[in-house]
Chain A
């Protein structure tokens, strides 16, 4: 029984097919990684799962229910949470208030203001932002903004958490802390689906990996399995994980 199931999902923008006939199953309690070169359709997939885009065809199921047509807020209430690749704090609010929005609106049954405030304070402490709780969100540095992204998503108490490149821009030490934090989140009962380019982190975290290239899934399995897949090596890993931006143009020659 899968928690998240994509079946034959396709999304095109004009003539560009960003995601093509994608089928994917994420099991409860696992950490699943979606990797692939830039432009492979990973972020589009996240937008489809969180409801910001509607698929042209295919179905999206969450915990046995068909959510293909559900609006984003409804999906949040069902238990789908996400972070954004480009950090998007509510800059007119404090750190604590950013998290509070998730506590106030992220649940199917609304919480009282008092309960939401105390739960938001707990989340701040959990991600290590307690000492910054009353600072404006604009005062945070990159690593703390990433924490805030995660905290705000956690405040909706997701059963499935989508993490969009949370490692990008972190120092190696910060990235190791993030790996530990993500494992802790999973151990508290949240299933994790993540996108990342930092291969060492994906290797350390993910129990299963799917590889996208030009909107299609070209491989799926353990990190070791996909890393050994000739298709994957050709499409992606062979070009050195950190330089794929420049290498995008090369794929057409294979």
Chain B
């Protein structure tokens, strides 16, 4: 058995477990279903953030896309009587459109300047939402429930969204886009001079990334039934979206997923076992991984698998 077939078997097992486990628990332990939904929300946000990061754009605007998705969907469903699933799709579109605009505005910004501009964008939306007459201002809005509030069905919806995103991410990393994204991330000017349409790829990455962040924001609203500017436009959403990929392994499909699962589940575990002081341990573990494992948990896996199965060239591993 090679590392790749083992990897595939693990992926298959993970999908089967993801589909079956919550359904098994839904009657007896609703808490686990809730936790699973939270984990998948984090994982989708994390992977969507990573798509954008692959072009070198380290965004602090994911709360903006998340919030835009949530507010668009809630306003459409409550004020215009739009069905919830349609509202979620609209939320994704509005987030995407805003991302294209932001993408063009920040084209020339690099590194920390880009991050600050995206943070400003997010904060501006929060302040505006706080002031507008029809958004419920700081009080927030009550949202209609997705699929009549059936938790198991709701769980399957976020699972489907994540699977679609995983397919998109996997396709990008195996197509010519991967080379364009990586070239742009390494050196935009060199990429441009050898023919990569930098503007097109950067803006496309923004649009796709925000589309998924937006739909997750809308999903969150219709599952937790309440949104407020402070909550959905929170810096914590943006930071959560970037911590998981860094922790799990940047620019990969598996890394952000692993990061989100481990961080979110680990956080719950710590909260229930350690109690009040858990953020200290959580922060310590985070710091250790980020400092000592530059390629995250996924990097640890590929190093271990390379050692275990030997003679696996890097290129083949990446193609798989």
Contact = CB atoms under 8 A, between A and B. Distances in A.
B315 A73 contact: no
Contact of B176 (A51, A82, A113): A113
B193 A97 contact: no
Interface string A153-193: 10110000000000000000000000000000000000000
B179 A52 contact: no
Contact of A94 (B192, B193, B198, B315): B315
Contacts of B194: 76, 81, 101-102, 105-106, 152-153, 155-156
Interface in B196-214: 196-199
Interface residues of B, number: 24
Given A94-B315, A104-B179, A72 B193 contact: yes
A246 interface: no
Contact of B192 (A71, A93, A110): A71
A102 B315 contact: no
Interface string B179-194: 1101101110111111
Nearest to A50: B193
Nearest to B196: A105
A104 B176 contact: yes
A101 B191 contact: yes
A76 B193 contact: yes
Contacts of A251: none
Given A88-B187, A93-B182, A134-B315, A101 B193 contact: no
B189 A52 contact: yes
B280 interface: no
Interface in B279-320: 313-315
B195 interface: yes
Contacts of B176: 104-105, 110, 113, 116
A134 B314 CA distance: 8
Interface residues of A, number: 35
B183 A73 contact: no
A77 interface: yes
Contact of A90 (B183, B192, B251, B315): B183
Nearest to A82: B193
B193 A105 contact: no
B183 A101 contact: yes
Interface string A39-60: 0000000000011100000000
Nearest to A71: B192
Contact of A106 (B175, B195, B315): B195
B190 A73 contact: no
A72 B183 contact: no
Contacts of A106: 194-195
Contacts of A51: 192-193
Given A97-B179, A101-B183, A107 B195 contact: yes
B284 to A, nearest CB: 29
Nearest to A104: B176
Contacts of B191: 101, 105
Contact of A92 (B182, B195, B196, B199): B182
Max chain A Cβ within 10 angstroms of own Cβ: one of B176, B180, B191, B195:
B195
Contacts of B196: 73, 101, 105
B190 A90 contact: yes
B198 A73 contact: yes
B190 A88 contact: yes
Contacts of B251: 92
Contacts of B199: 71
Contacts of A101: 179-180, 183, 191, 194, 196
Contacts of B183: 90, 93, 101, 105
Given A77-B195, A92-B186, A101-B196, 17 more contacts: A72-B189, A73-B196, A76-B192, A92-B182, A93-B186, A96-B315, A101-B179, A101-B183, A102-B195, A105-B179, A105-B180, A105-B183, A105-B191, A106-B194, A110-B176, A155-B194, A156-B194
What 4 A-B pairs are tightest by C-beta distance, nearest first? A76-B195, A106-B195, A72-B192, A105-B195
25 contacts: A52-B189, A71-B192, A72-B189, A73-B197, A76-B192, A76-B194, A81-B193, A84-B190, A88-B190, A92-B251, A93-B183, A97-B179, A100-B179, A101-B180, A104-B180, A105-B176, A105-B191, A105-B194, A106-B194, A106-B195, A152-B194, A153-B194, A155-B194, A156-B194, A156-B195
